[in-house]
Structure 1
């Protein structure tokens, strides 16, 4: 019977270890299991018969390879789900063209038409102030008086307020210490697809990412036949 020397065993073990490192490729999980079985057979054939490798080690190695393959499959499935979600967002955004939406925003794009919006208060305010700041840093305070918790609607008429057309930063100050967000209603005129997802052009606000929309729905149509 042929005897495997320790020198040959060490040499074969080193070669097998190098082969394992080259064979394990996470991006090619479909062949990972077959490669492992081939390497396991080679390792069994070249082991020292007087000192066989513990079978539990093979099982642990096989379990590790199976986990890697499962993780690769999960990553591929997650990628497919992200692509599907992105497509659904684009289709939903495209259907909003011509519809009115509400957008959480920190800036306004004023023209000649009035803008409607609302402020969501969690606490009562003895004094609520809406502040508009133009590109030159000039501020315009609009006193909204005392308000109870809940939705506080407001309307901005640029001509009546003496505000020139342009872009304004908007913020709300409350004597309760709360800094609520501003939501503005506007009609969607256009949808653009970007690397970060759909971007909507909303009258009164400008370009808005899809995730900034807080409310949307089909407008009611009167006089249906």
Structure 2
């Protein structure tokens, strides 16, 4: 984890919070000045009810408190995100199993297809990032792990890149189910994103920690 970047981010957040707090204080002072001017310049023959002033003051105060609360929640969320990233740091170097995209560079990838329990045939479907089908190959209907070697429909090696895998389950020649295929990939890095910590896998594939269904030591 880049400590310098983290410190910079923390400093930036504190500066932004300070600026927002200063702005709210300035807005509140402006509101009080406007309210005072309104009282001083009201029509003496038709004065504004004191209760109306109280409502205006209470409304602004409520908005001010809500804004401050949101700022504190944002700060807390950022701190929790950093803590979550720190907790995931020990995962770096291990292999995560998930149903996300698969990076193939010529080295066999361990996948975990899960055919329908009633299937008598299972077909692994390989597509590129544009959704074009590049290969279809039969895999054992018994499930378990399987080494995908990255061949196209003619048996030639696929070029290095990111692919998506799915599994078609058949019974008596009829497709009964299509499901995602989980695969193992090494965790290269943990990054902070707007949605929380993200795991960067081999090939630059990004997934959230919630997508991981298993971890194992790298081969």
Does TM, scored on the shorter chain, surpass 0.5?
yes
Which whole-Å CA distance do the structure 1 matches of 2:41 and 2:128 have between them? 79
CA deviation vs aligned residue, 1:44-89 (integer Å, no higher than 9, x gap): 2222222110122112211220222123113312321332243234
Q: Residues 28 and 134 of structure 1: is their aligned pair in 2 closer, same or farther, counting only changes over 3 Å? A: closer
Provide the TM-score with structure 1 as the length reference.
0.63
1:19 aligned partner? none
Q: 1:207 aligns with which of 182, 188, 204?
A: 204
Structure 2 unaligned spans of 5+? 1-19
Question: 1:137 offset after TM fit, Å?
Answer: 5.3
2:88–2:190 contact (8 Å) kept in structure 1: no
1:144 aligned partner? 140
1:133–1:140 contact (8 Å) kept in structure 2: no
1:164 aligns with 2:162: no
Alignment of 1:65-214 (within 5 A): 65-112=60-107, 114-119=108-113, 124-133=118-127, 138-145=134-141, 152-158=143-149, 164=157, 166-167=160-161, 168-175=163-170, 177-188=176-187, 190-191=188-189, 193=191, 198-202=198-202, 206-211=203-208, 213-214=211-212
Provide the TM-score with structure 2 as the length reference.
0.65
Q: 1:59 aligns with which of 33, 54, 58?
A: 54
Question: 1:184 offset after TM fit, Å?
Answer: 0.9
Q: Residues 69 and 116 of structure 1: is their aligned pair in 2 closer, same or farther, counting only changes over 3 Å? A: same
CA RMSD of aligned residues (A): 3.6
Structure 1 unaligned spans of 5+? 1-24, 220-225
2:98–2:184 contact (8 Å) kept in structure 1: yes
Tell me which structure has the larger Cα radius of gyration. Answer: 1
CA deviation vs aligned residue, 1:9-58 (integer Å, no higher than 9, x gap): xxxxxxxxxxxxxxxx9982234434333332332222222211012211
